[in-house]
Structure 1
């Protein structure tokens, strides 16, 4: 028996069927459209309901009908699949680097802060100290391998994204959590709220082994707060943090939800199977309940793959046209 559901996708919250209603908004009666627009406006930070009345983003009291009308265009334009809103995908292009070999016809002299100078230098480089913080480096004529900063046009500029203005990490005490993990934590809380059950009461009536969580990410936590930042720390010149490795695991949502959201010591796990990850985890939960091994199971998955690296990795074999007319494409199953 499914007693609750929660989470947010590009159309809105799963609980209360908000996301479904967004996809069929044009077919809804006017009153239902207004209610949907107001709920999405609240989710996106365009308005709020307090003290028995609606308020706009500036805190001014407005009628429900006026707020819905004011927010309608923005709500419709900034939900579902749309142009990627990450500023790195703007017209200037994605930040990147290009390898180059410079042929120096004469000495190259430059100044650099001491902390920015590599620990190991070529034997032919000469370094002179100018003060405690600044060094002068002389490079002799010859070949010099460098990385030149550049921007590259994004091959894909549209994707399904969370509604604009909604950030799951703002709804709890998040400290550098990967986005996929933040989405899972919000979804679990939303699910418990929609169930109408008090989790503490339910947990106290169950043995720890009768509770399980199956949740994960099909693509892992590959943004800068997870393994994405960890894997490129050397080439980007940034330090790896103590959280990137543990929080980057694909099954981390299950472990985190079980320990810190549910406060449980029951079973956890995750099956990572690309677009079918949720269905695989759902099967685990169903099998546990049918066998009598568990009495309460939370199942879910969340992915946050809208990063330059992941988008560009999918582009060469995606079934949609890209910005390069000559690029071939191959169908894929997601």
Structure 2
């Protein structure tokens, strides 16, 4: 049996370094055809790990996409759908998404829309996708630098998490995923935040990943369609997604998701201090934690209008107001806090002065 299982919305998240449970799932499934979606990196580094764990499993076709958030768009989905057709996929087929958040988001989206939906499972291979993209049934692609603006809510049949895959990552990718681990503590579990904030990312264990997933899972099972409490998961993401979109469009070496969200969480902790009762001590604690682990991101006020335009396209807004999830204390978070543009600019100024 696996090391541990968490039950989510109609499916299990299985923590199992041996991947034996995945093997059993495939054998039980009796699928007409099995497709594995990878990107170029996971095809080289992670597919062999999967093959070694499942030596008898060989009747599958591989669809490979280019890595990186900049390729998470509808054009790539069309390519995936065409390959699915070429491989003769029907409604009794299974898609295994083997990769980071880009692969699991795009694979979930293409599977959930192909022939009105075929079964898919997630095998997340980055720390970020294990603690974030693996739970909650969100799929999506980007358009015009707006993150995940096209997508569906579609639950996988199962998620299989093996820490073995983390050995294939470089430190920068590990650190990027660590942002979401820290965030889960900040929004809902102070004791967990205190436990992880000082860790070296190389020492993050399957136990930490399980705890992080359990926090996210308890939130999404209460609110599968993001009508209420699930919005706390967006802490740091309103400003963070805008920074990520800007960086993707303009920087030669763009920010990774967790790097952008870390900067976003500093800005939004400042907003929380200004208007949501977060204490100065807590604000300084959050700043210290993220600056220890994450690089500073330098930008000028010239980009503020562009960032605000991206924030206005965010899915969480109401009318013309920009909505935030803001901490009230460490371990507690409020939703639907609408913030004036002037104050958002002030938070960006605060970040810039901090790193100057």
Does TM-score exceed 0.5, indicating one fold?
no
Q: Which has the higher strand share?
A: 1
TM tier relative to shorter chain: under 0.3
Decide which structure has greater helix share: 2
Structure (1 or 2) with the larger CA radius of gyration: 1
Q: TM-score, normalised by structure 2?
A: 0.23
